[in-house]
Amino acid sequence: MKNSARVMHSISLLFLLLLLNGCGIPASTETSTDPWSTMDSILEQISRPAFPDQVYFVQDFGATTDGKEDARKAFTEAIKKCSSEGGGTVVAPAGDYLINGSIYLESNVNLRLEEGAYLRFSVDPAHYLPVVHTRWEGIELMNYSPLIYAFEEENIAITGHGTIDGQASEKNWWPWKGLADYGWKPGMPLQESEESKYRLIRLNEDRAPVDERIFGSGTYLRPNLIQPNRCTNILIEGITIKNSPMWVIHPLLCENVIIQDVKVISHGPNSDGCDPESCKNVLIDGCYFDTGDDCIALKSGRNQDGREINRPIENVVIRNCQMKDGHGGVVIGSEVSGGARNIFATDCQMDSPNLERAIRIKTNKVRGGTLENLFFRNLKVGQVSEAVVKINANYTIDTKTELEFIPVIRNIYIDQINSSKSKYGILIDGYDATHPVNNVHITNCRFEGVGEGNLIENVSDLTTSDIVINGVNWSWNN
């Protein structure tokens, strides 16, 4: 049986490397037995954007630092001038800046927030009109502008050691979720309504053109905080981001993205820390997440839009990050209809009684998608409230559609995960016996303080080696 398992494992590795090579990632003959070696090939494809030496100070364009006068116009004019003159760095020195509306980033501009610079964004929805082309939970639409936005730009950055505060709270954006914990009361507007979220879902299912999906004023779909949309060569580095209306950092349909040494603190509903969606070649490195939803969630569009645009989230490296509160540490889904492939997460720390899972993969028969070549290694997990590893192909469905797109989940490698407290160690819920999660390898893991063991259903080719749960060696016997 052991020799047979080794043969099957070698065949799986060969098949996986052929898949990776087909995605533009070379498979070296010297490292062909180690699928992790492809992570280096991805990193070689990711590069930092470069900017000319010109510097533009926002004070020279009329910005004040007392936090009382609107500085948006000064930021806008500085960015426009910088971009029109070939690019450079727009600098916000230490001070308090009130921003009444969106900041639009343009090509070849690095917006640098120096230490002590504090940007406070307005919470008046009218300040984020007119509507712009964006996505809301994976669906294309015209909606309120993200607080910091770019569309079809290249070579853009937000750097420095300043702070961006969306100022979202139970008194403004967050009640739109419709939950009493976030300030909602009966009679108040909410996103979970026929006029807002469910109308958008119907438009998605009916394949309505984006220019007919007009939301914004009179609807209650909260904007993201930072969204480069259809951009290339993006750097977000060093800053602290707080209190987002919804998703915090949301690169959408972008290529060559670096998010490094960023600190995210936002405990509102759907306050995902970083959601690269339908992006290629992404590095998330050395970041800190303390969030009200998933810390990092990788996505590729929802339902019809995800399938028709057909842009997977691919070639992603997550390393050296710290996750505190959140629904999941590293998550793939649930808006993943365009697929996910070649995802690597390594050398991260996750620990909080308010962190529900360390690794989470989630989709369902409406989302569908092919999720493959997923690698998790050397994760130090303290306490999580549910499972250390959760793979769920039957995630909650919130639409009445009868369409069925059965997800494919395969080629998952989990190695060197140590945890100290959880309800489950491993929780796998494949779609059904005919469409199981396939080719999963879990090795060299120590799960302590596990309350209810493992719960595994509908999986094929699950290989385990050197797994200890509550001090006892454990192996999978199907």
CATH number at residue 464: 2.160.20.10
> Within a domain: residue 264?
no
- Res 20: pLDDT: 54
Distance, in Å, from the CA atom of 341 to the CA atom of 474, rounded to the nearest integer, reads 29
Alpha carbon distance 128, 102 (integer Å): 6
Sequence-separated (6 or more) residues with CB below 8 Å from residue 343: 298, 313, 314, 316, 318, 332, 373, 374, 375
Residue 127's alpha-carbon distances to 64, 198, 213, 217, 233, in angstroms, are 19, 25, 20, 11, 28
Tokens of 38: 């492809």
Residue 249 lies inside a defined structural domain of this protein: yes
Residue 282 lies in a domain: no
Please report the pLDDT score of residue 35 as a whole number. 79
Residue 30 shares a structural domain with residue 57: no
The number of folded domains in the chain is: 2
The pLDDT of residue 8 is 44
Give a yes or no: residue 286 inside a domain: no
In a domain, 39, yes or no: yes
Q: What is the pTM for the complete model shown?
A: 0.93
Q: Rounded CA gap, 92 and 239, in Å?
A: 12
Q: Are 370 and 473 found together in one domain?
A: yes
Q: What pLDDT shows up at residue 397? A: 84
Q: Are residues 18 and 56 in the same domain?
A: no
Residues designated as active site = 293, 327
Residues 223 and 240: their CA atoms lie apart, in Å, by 19
* The pLDDT of residue 7: 42
Do residues 339 and 476 both lie within one domain? yes
Same domain? 98 vs 4: no
Does one domain contain both 74 and 17?
A: no
Whether 452 is covered by a domain: the verdict is: yes
pLDDT, residue 132, reads 98
* Domain end point (choices 224, 255, 286): 255
Using the 3D structure, point to which of 198, 233, 255 is the last residue of a domain: 255
**One domain, residues 136 and 239:** yes
- In this structure, the answer to whether residues 72 and 206 fall within a common structural domain is yes
427 vs 121: CA distance, rounded Å:
41
pLDDT at 403: 78
- Of the three residues 255, 286, 309, the one that is the final residue of a domain is 255
Instruction: Note whether residue 407 is domain-resident.
Output: yes
Q: Are residues 410 and 472 in the same domain?
A: yes
Residues (pLDDT < 50) of the chain are 1-11, 14-15, 17, 26-32
For residue 162, the SS3 value is coil
- Residue 262 included in any domain: no
Parent domain of 200: 50-255
Residues 10 and 70 in one domain: no
Do residue 38 and residue 68 come from a single domain?
no
Q: Do 117 and 226 fall within a single domain?
A: yes
